[in-house]
Structure 1
Amino acid sequence: MEIEMKIRGLMVDPSTNAPIVILKDVQGDTVLPIWVGLYEANAIALEVEKATTPRPMTHDLLKNLVQGLNATVQRVVVTELKNDTFYAVLWLEQDGESVTIDCRPSDALALALRADCPIFVDEDVLRVAKVISNPTDQATQEELRRWLENLNDEDLGRYKM
């Protein structure tokens, strides 16, 4: 089963300074942090803030390419978490047919914002994401997870990229 989620914010991991995209369950309180690269975080932040750039960025190009091929992005799905790496799929529709394309979640999220399409996370990913795989980092990861789960709307507005 897939759970619909929204991007609730972008922040920086306080221990590693890596960008994190915060996804939140539309129907509940489930929060899923996904660590992303700096460039992808920037692409997401630009679209979240509705900032314009003088020339199309890579994800703008992807959106324009999809539209130019008379296709639409129907949804994106974070499908798997394997070896601490998230996987995603773009669902496109072209000429009445569905096409799936493997992609990185960060790229899928940046494109989903531009295409104004829903974001889903497979229920199994949410279940696996709560498991801490490295016992040496358990305290740090557990603290970060609790911190992320306890963020409120005001907190999400305070942390900028």
Structure 2
Amino acid sequence: MIEMSVQGITLDPVTNMPIVVLKGKESEDILPIWIGIFEANAIAMQLEGVERPRPMTHDLIKNLINSLSASVEYIHIHDLKANTYYAEISLILNGERIVIDSRPSDAINIALRCNAPIYVSEAVLKQSRIENEIETEEEEIQDWLESIKPEDFGKNPSV
């Protein structure tokens, strides 16, 4: 597992969907994860240190964890299937580890609020790099196809 930190939130220029960007703490690994608007807003507000008058959902979860005398050991983004990332939250309660399935955006929000480390499996990083390379190649091919003009193929054969 590679420990990562939240680098920030950005927008996909094509879809305008938010992307949370994770960066390796001791590596140059980058992992972009497309997330929902509300989850992105919650991450951004937490990163900016915005105080809310009432607890939002992720704050409520943190309060529940604390009220139960549990702690978030870490979160782990452990799988990538069909462009969907899978994560889990590892809690310690009464000395026992409890692992809870989670969307990555929710797990990241919880990790930020509980000062817990964020880990990503090496296999997920590798698979993400491969998928990003394929998407980049497809985009380059599409750009090239859109830029082709008839004169790029030489003389007009009907002349």
TM bin (shorter chain): 0.7 to 0.9
Aligned-pair distance for 1:138? 3.9
In the aligned structure 1, how far is the partner of 2:131 from the partner of 2:31?
14
RMSD of equivalent CA atoms: 2.0
Change over 3 Å in CA distance of 1:24–1:134 after alignment to 2: closer
| Count of residue pairs brought into register by the alignment | 141
Determine what percentage of the aligned residue pairs are the same residue: 45
How many Å separate the matches in 2 of 1:16 and 1:6? 24
Q: 1:90 to 1:139 in 2, by over 3 A?
A: same
- Alignment pair present for 1:77 and 2:76: yes
**How far is the alpha carbon of 1:54 from its aligned partner?**
1.4
Task: State the partner residue of 1:155.
Answer: none
Partner of 2:95: 96
Counterpart Cα distance in 1 of 2:18 and 2:53: 24
**Corresponding residue of 1:109:** 108
Higher relative contact order (CA 8 A, sep 6+): 1
Partner of 1:22: 21
User: Which structure 2 residues correspond to residues 12-161 of structure 1 after superposition, within 5 A?
Assistant: 12-132=11-131, 138-140=137-139
Name the amino acid aligned to 1:10.
Answer: I
Higher Rg of the two aligned structures: 2
What TM-score do you get using the length of structure 2 for normalisation?
0.83
Unaligned runs of 5+ in 1: 143-161
Distance 2:19 2:70 in 1: 30
Measured in 2, the distance between the counterparts of 1:75 and 1:83 equals 25
Q: Is the 8 A contact 1:132 1:141 kept in 2?
A: no
Deviation, 1:133, is: 8.0
What is the TM-score with the length of structure 1 in the denominator?
A: 0.82
Give yes or no for contact 1:132–1:138 (8 Å, CA) kept in 2: no
Structure 2 segments unaligned to the other structure (5+ residues): 142-159
